[in-house]
């Protein structure tokens, strides 16, 4: 559970779910990243970190995305 953005030496930090969700939404093009099971959500982040997921479409409407949360 505690993973991607929290891998820093020293004190553990809470995961920034919103920032991670934004990444999953834009890179993996998942419509509702917060509705994913935690393990699947983390799987997308890890795949993105390994370079296995790349955006191929145009820019997304970030304002609409944030408003929809």
Partner 1 sequence: MIGDAVAIVGGEERRFPPLTVRQVCTLQTVMAERMAAETAADCRALGLDTDETLRRTRTAREDARLSTTLVRSCFTFDGACRILTESVGADRAESMLEGIAPDDLTELALQTVGFEWSADVGKWVRRSRVNPDANGRGIG
Give the footprint of partner 1 on this chain (CB under 8 A).
1-3, 6, 12-15, 17, 21, 27-44, 46-47, 53-57
Its sign, for the CA torsion 32, 37, 40, 41, is: positive
Per the CB < 8 A criterion, the answer to whether 38 and 1 are in contact is yes
Q: Which is nearer to partner 1, 35 or 63 (CB)?
A: 35
- Cα separation, 60 vs 42, whole angstroms: 21
Q: Which is nearer to partner 1, 9 or 37 (CB)?
A: 37
Q: Which is nearer to partner 1, 39 or 63 (CB)?
A: 39
């Amino acid at each position: 559970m505690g993973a991607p953005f929290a891998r820093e030496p020293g004190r553990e930090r809470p995961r920034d779910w919103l920032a991670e969700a934004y990444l999953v939404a834009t890179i993996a093009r998942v419509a509702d990243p917060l509705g994913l099971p935690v393990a699947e959500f983390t799987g997308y982040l890890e795949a993105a970190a390994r370079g296995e997921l790349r955006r191929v479409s145009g820019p997304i409407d970030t304002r609409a995305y944030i408003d929809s949360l």
